[in-house]
Chains A and B, each alone.
Chain A
Amino acid sequence: MSWSLNEIETLSRKAARGAGLSWGLAEEAGKAARWLTAAGLPGPQVLADLLTRNDGADYETLCPMEADEGRWVARGGTLCPLISGAVLCDNAQRLGTGDLTLGRTAAPMLLLPYLDAAARQCGSSLTVRWNGTTVTLGNNAQAMGDSLDTPMADQITIASSTAEKAANPLPQHNRGDMPANVAQCLKAFAERTYAPETEESRLSGAGAGLTDND
């Protein structure tokens, strides 16, 4: 089934919120899933897998802390790419001036949309590497390597680079597909944000008139 990018973004945002992220982080998670889908990458799949793995985990254990100069790790051992991505984006100017290393990170593909935005903010291309995969982001996004959708990377390096014409730029898609089990997983997380139906809510919450048959 073909999904619109808005559907993918909306479902992903709600799912991220349902899985416990703050609204602001969830908004960006939705944009990330959309960006990956538009680039022909399995954003919703990777997101669904990550949310399942991190369900119930405490923010403090997932967010980055600077272990040494230029090296971020998670207190709990594994960085969440949705949190790290947002923090990287907030530190876009710093990314333009020096290399950064991330320790063990889950689903590193989810970092790409944030780094693309960061590259645009700092006005420099960024090159990110893990497990033999290299992705350049900014005006000429392109990816090389076979571990793009790895569930875990032990180390990630992010370096600013000079923008060269991409030999194989990521293609742009305006629709997306996701397997039924992925959609079901995201919907299940999203449903946590919906209030259960009650008679009182049904009668008063929408405030419609008593009859529309007029």
Chain B
Amino acid sequence: MQLHRLGSFHQSRLSFMRILLRRLEGEAWTFDRPVFDIDACGVGRAVYSAHGPDRSYSLVAFANDLPPEKRSDRVIATEWDATFTLFDGVPTTADLDRLQDNVPKQEAGRVSEKELSLSRANRSVRLWEHVVERLSQGQQPERQKVADVGYLMRTTAVYGSGKFGAADREMTADRPEFLAPFQVEMLSVFLTRAFVMDLVEHMAKMRAPDTAVPLDPDLRRRFGIGNSTGLGMAPFLLNHPALLNNWIGAREEALSRIRNLETAHAPEVENFRRFALRARLHAEEWHSEHPVQIEKLAALRHDMAALLAHLDSTDLTADMPWNRLWLWAEDALSVEGQELLASLLMEPYPHLVDGMATCMAADEPATWRINGAMPLDELRALVEDIYGWALAIDWTVREAQARVWYTSEAKLEPRLGERFEEELDAYEQPLCPGRDAARMYADLQGSEEATVAGFLMRHPEHRHVARRAQIAGRLPYAEIRDNTIDASVMPIDMLRLKLSFFGACHFDPRSDRWVRINMYQHAPFPHELGERSGDDWAYPFLKGGVV
């Protein structure tokens, strides 16, 4: 549970996008576009509906003609190229009119319990104009340019559960389609990708009705939907320890099942090898300008070559083959490569892995209350066990607590500041469990109270971290065991951890606290589900290989 490892995770069979598309395909969901009312300037609205066995959901999209100087991916932006909400059902015209007055304003507007999410996206200026221009001239865009960027729009926030008036997750969490985490948000993004591709073709047609052509379907699937993510995701992981535990726990259980297999059938080994080849291709197509990621990518490409060479020289059908492979990788591969291997190992074994998806949601209230009857010695022991690494840190050294997590009054943007250079201490958010546990431990050592209840009555300032310690005592993967305020902390590690569980790829850090990604690249579009697999799309396809 250390950041350098968590920050090297990759998408897998347990990613929330793949869980969603498996369901949509398995239940034969249907899709239609009841509204597409967008003018030549690209302004207007559209509705994309998804119909499942029991319910329908609709992405309501508002397209905007955004002046370039207003284009910002940050929370503090106030206008976007497109804004969205996922509607619970199929909206009436009155619903659309109400939403048109609110959704384009995002945080400054209000939605209702009929809406499940609120999101926005900005164009990739580099690629958008190129694609519109080429299509309008009857030509396909250049493949290399498509590969360089990978998407036409990137979402800059996808708000769910109760935000800005939307329905709380608890209102829909018992629906089968939303049992797994973030299915609302993943459905919203899946439909957003379909809208964006329709929009770019529409804009080309409006520009040159006589010559414009649609995108070639194979090239079209190479466009994912981008996302630009800042620090907001990091607090989420720290504020939802039970959820984090279940995500990591599901992954660990899946890996454990596979590593414990006594033998593997030849087709499973061949299947694994083909996925490794595709993962190598993915690593080759993955670009970043960030020095840390450049280094990790160089190591990953080296790892993939080493893995494929090793596969050619090793019998993986007998003698606990996957466990042997894993133990080999612990010495032979970088952390980035080891984590890719973890994801790859799951691919040949859907029957061992996919069922774990149902364990990834969390009953957070069940583990949240403090057990005041716990003897204080037990809390001391818990702290030593869970936060031993933090007790070993000298917190008087400035570097150990150089950073401060805080919320800015500017649109409540989450930020990370320099404790010894800015006046921020008074606004610090409780996102440094290690330091707080060490502080609590110092008071625990001097306390003569018999129970946690007595201790916390005297020390209310330790209440939040006592709760964390007890949760982590119940749930082994609930706590990140690293210093989140160290001078060297890389918040992008936390962002990548969460985004990898979403199913994102092509992590491209823009700084130590900001990352761009791609989602649903190579996935079928809604109308293609059924003809194309909703499960097998997360790695690029080999030339002439599997469809």
Contacts and interface: CB of A to CB of B under 8 A. Distances in A.
B466 A24 contact: yes
Most buried by B among A90, A91, A191, A197: A90
Interface stretch (A101-109, A146-154, A161-169, A206-214): A206-214
Most buried by B among A21, A87, A93, A209: A209
Interface in A92-130: 92-93, 117, 121
A90 B491 CA distance: 34
Interface size classification for chain B:
35 or more
Given A87-B453, A207-B416, A214-B124, A22 B463 contact: yes
A201 interface: yes
Contacts of A191: 409
Interface stretch (B6-14, B377-385, B480-488, B510-518): B510-518
A90 B464 contact: no
Contact of A212 (B73, B370, B407, B413): B73
Contacts of A204: 417
B165 A7 contact: yes
B408 A24 contact: no
A208 B511 contact: yes
Interface string B277-311: 00000000000000000000000000000000000
Contact of B462 (A2, A24, A196, A200): A24
Contact of A6 (B162, B230, B463): B162
Nearest to B462: A24
Given A193-B407, A207-B513, A214-B124, A7 B73 contact: no
Interface string B403-447: 000111110111111000010100100100000000000000000
Contacts of B76: 202, 206
Contacts of B427: 193-195
B228 interface: yes
B126 to A, nearest CB: 6
Contacts of A4: 113, 161-163, 165-168
A194 B452 contact: no
Contacts of A2: 112-113, 165
Contacts of B113: 2, 4, 174-175
A89 interface: yes
Contacts of A196: 409
A194 B74 contact: no
Interface in B62-104: 68-69, 71-76
A205 B513 CA distance: 9
A197 B69 CA distance: 21
A205 to B, nearest CB: 3
17 contacts: A2-B113, A6-B161, A7-B165, A22-B462, A23-B463, A24-B456, A63-B460, A83-B460, A89-B369, A90-B370, A91-B453, A195-B424, A206-B76, A207-B510, A207-B513, A207-B514, A214-B126
- When A and B form their complex, which 10 residue pairs have the shortest distance between CB atoms, in order from nearest? A24-B463, A90-B372, A6-B162, A205-B415, A4-B162, A207-B513, A90-B453, A24-B464, A194-B409, A195-B427
Given A24-B460, A90-B452, 8 more contacts: A27-B467, A90-B457, A93-B372, A174-B113, A195-B427, A205-B415, A214-B124, A214-B125
Interface of B: 68-69, 71-76, 110, 112-113, 122, 124-126, 161-171, 228, 230-231, 369-370, 372-373, 406-410, 412-417, 422, 424, 427, 430, 452-453, 456-457, 460-467, 491, 510-514
